[in-house]
A and B are shown apart, each in its own frame.
Chain A
């Protein structure tokens, strides 16, 4: 019953976010929100950016890439020299080069894959001024790309798609900082730590034990970690750690935060690019897939853990409690981890690696659909719009007519760009998984034996190429092999999709509108939603079924066997 009400409240909160945050986002990116003009104006003067001037798609993409490269380099340098920087009460030394590369790429690409344990690797300065900064900035970059694509649909015969600098700054100042700050207050009020005081040593007089407890400025990082669909936690245990996610209330707040912007952007999209109904059609596809996967995971995790069952030592009335916190239980944990894997967040409140075979299947395949249900902030929307273009193209093939989407003719160039962008992720995942399983350095990674070991490798590259960042964490990822290949997967998974998406925005913006005729395939109907779902699942399913069959599926079917 508690789970039912949790979902009811979540849906209600998201409905409000969809309507009101959605229209707020539209206002912010149209430049109608101005209460921080006094910060913006001097900054633009300093940058020599004319707030009225716009950029072509090539200049927009160029600015985005150069900015991301600078962010990558700066992040790398700062964690390499953290030993000589302030806010380092544990006197932690430099992060090694390969790990620094992986970590810097990870946070700049909004992935937040972590081959390190935060509390024993990163100084407070690195956590705040490097990782937390990228949690704001990479999220704003994602939203900026989505907004640029929306403008591509909304504009007629335009040579520009907006101004990257304005979109970036406004996203951070007007959207991410205020919401994260309010949420941060709630996290800390509930028990998340927020201190610069270093670890605490406590002595328990009752039974004579002494314990050193890692602390740090974690509560406010938790807020942007969730809101920006980043997922990189202050502590190794991420959202399972009581100092990051102390109560049932913060658990639900975490889930609402990571879903709110991706959901709201479908309203922004509809509002700016035609009609709200267009956004609803897309949101419906997201919601139906999300709901189905949530159902699978919740059911699977309320079943007993096979290895625990094999001991015949204990009943498992709640379901699989391995790797789960007592305060959350299997159901709320499933909701958190499904929401996090399907939004490219990658935070966890329970150990993915110890989910039942079908529970793990739901987490893994949720990412394989391309992070579109509803996906990361911005990236979820722009990726599902790529699928929408492929959907109208296939619809057009069926009736032998040039397809249209939102009044724009979809021609060869648009279809090529969309198809290329959609195929980047599967290519990266499958090639790197194949490489990892064929070389010794790759096979040395998994903790678990049997099919689960293969799942750990497949999960790692799926997560990184989708910029998710969650892990089947038994994998020992902090090796030269996994740090370097994972870094490449994250870079390609991010920018090899962003650039064609911006190119698409550019060509769409330049087109004139075609009036809808009798033969136009309507894209605001349940039929379109159904086709879109079909395309997403067929593309993901055809690409990944053989690989998934070797991992979670064979594990599920191995009744009575342990490895």
Chain B
């Protein structure tokens, strides 16, 4: 028993050093050298392209609703310190109310709601929407910015990311990249 205990302690310390310090710190060193941009969060001057943001006003393309909640328990969309989903079940009345309210708000802005634009994501930080959801906002954005519809629609088309290798995942539009391109347009 005692010999097991002594060995256990030595091995636990050995693994703490190898797996808990050497492995992640070597990984961090390599990542910072080889993938500096990605390893630090894919940051641009206006935010991370991997972390969604709350966009205010009809002059910007909107992302998905976010279910993130501040530490005090209040809804705080796109709180990147508190990722998470709504966890509302498939027959939840609360979910129905959230979706209905979001759909009504979109219609008020002149946007025909799409599936993603009324449902919150798993992370609450989804940086993307589907191309369909981007096209659904073209009219509203063009109107707010006094731009020809065709110009905005063309902009969306240039921003569609196809699935990697043609089959991994879904085609998406990154909302931050799209809005950056939009800001350069006008």
Q: Does A354 contact B (CB under 8 A)?
A: yes
Q: Which of B14, B15, B20, B85 contacts A323 (CB 8 A)?
A: B85
B residues less than 8 Å from A213 (CB atoms):
41, 47-48, 51, 80-81
B148 an interface residue at 8 Å Cβ cutoff? no
Q: How far is the CA of A313 from the CA of B95 in the complex (A)?
A: 13
Q: Count contacts between A and B, CB distance < 8 Å.
A: 387
Alpha-carbon gap, A204 to B88, bound state (A):
31
Q: How far is A354 from B94 in the complex, measured between Cα atoms in Å?
A: 12
Nearest B residue to A317 via CB reads B115
Per-position contact with A for B36-77: 1 when CB-CB < 8 Å, else 0?
001111110111101101111100100010000001000000
CA distance A236 to B95 in the complex (A): 21
Interface residues of A in 211-255 (CB under 8 A from B): 211-215, 217, 219-221, 224, 235-237, 240-243, 246-249, 251-252
The reply to whether B40 and A200 contact each other, CB–CB distance below 8 Å, is yes
CB neighbours (8 Å) of B165 from chain A are 249
Total A residues in contact with B, Cβ cutoff 8 Å = 130
CB of A355 within 8 A of CB of B82, answer no
Is B150 an interface residue, CB under 8 A from the partner? no
Q: Which of A136, A195, A308 contacts B96 (CB 8 A)?
A: A308
Closest B residue to A239 by beta carbon equals B122
Q: Which residue of B lies closest to A203 (CB)?
A: B46
Assuming the contacts A2-B163, A67-B8, A308-B96, asked whether A474 and B90 have C-beta atoms less than 8 A apart, the reply is: no
Among the listed A199, A247, A315, which residue makes an inter-chain contact with B164, where contact means beta carbons less than 8 Å apart?
A247
Is the beta-carbon distance between A2 and B80 smaller than 8 angstroms? no
Cα-based distance from A236 to B82 in the complex (angstroms): 7
Whether B40 pairs with A215 at a CB distance below 8 angstroms is yes
Cβ proximity bits A444-486 to B, threshold 8 Å, 1 near / 0 not: 0001111010010000000000000000111000000000000
Tell which of A177-185, A262-270, A282-290, A502-510 binds the partner.
A177-185
Say whether, besides A172-B19, A246-B50, A212 and B90 are in contact (CB < 8 Å).
no
In the complex, the answer to whether A192 meets B83 with C-beta atoms within 8 Å is no
How close is A396's CB to chain B, nearest CB, in angstroms?
38
**A452 and B23 form a contact (CB under 8 A):** no
Q: Which residue of B lies closest to A7 (CB)?
A: B167
Query: What is the 8 Å Cβ interface bit string for chain A, positions 504-520, against chain B (1 contact, 0 not)?
Result: 00000000000000000
A350 in contact (CB, < 8 A): yes
- Give the one of B32, B80, B116, B183 with max A CB within 10 A: B80
Given A165-B7, A329-B169, A474-B89, residue A209 in contact with residue B56 (CB < 8 A): yes
Q: Is A558 an interface residue (CB 8 A)?
A: yes
With a cutoff of 8 Å between Cβ atoms, the chain B residues found around residue A193 in the complex are 38-41
Segment at the interface with B among A41-49, A383-391, A490-498: A41-49
Q: Are B125 and A242 interface neighbours, CB within 8 A?
A: yes
A375 to B91, CA, bound (A): 30
- In Å, the complex CA distance between A381 and B170 comes to 34
Q: A191-B42, A191-B50, A355-B90 are in contact. List 20 more A-B contacts (CB 8 A).
A: A130-B20, A165-B7, A173-B18, A177-B23, A195-B41, A205-B45, A207-B55, A213-B48, A213-B51, A219-B27, A219-B39, A240-B122, A242-B50, A311-B103, A321-B119, A322-B90, A353-B85, A354-B86, A473-B84, A473-B85
Interface residues of A (CB under 8 A from B): 1-3, 5-6, 9, 43, 46-49, 62-63, 66-67, 69-71, 74, 117, 119-120, 128-130, 132-133, 135-137, 165, 168-169, 172-173, 177, 180-181, 184-185, 188-197, 199-200, 202-207, 209, 211-215, 217, 219-221, 224, 235-237, 240-243, 246-249, 251-252, 305-308, 310-311, 313-318, 320-329, 332-333, 348-351, 353-357, 360, 447-450, 452, 455, 472-474, 555, 558, 561-563
* 15 A-B residue pairs with CB within 8 Å: A2-B167, A132-B24, A181-B23, A181-B26, A240-B83, A241-B83, A241-B123, A249-B165, A314-B113, A323-B87, A360-B90, A447-B87, A448-B92, A558-B91, A563-B93
Q: Which 5 pairs show the lowest CB-CB distances between chains A and B?
A: A248-B169, A240-B122, A248-B168, A129-B20, A313-B103
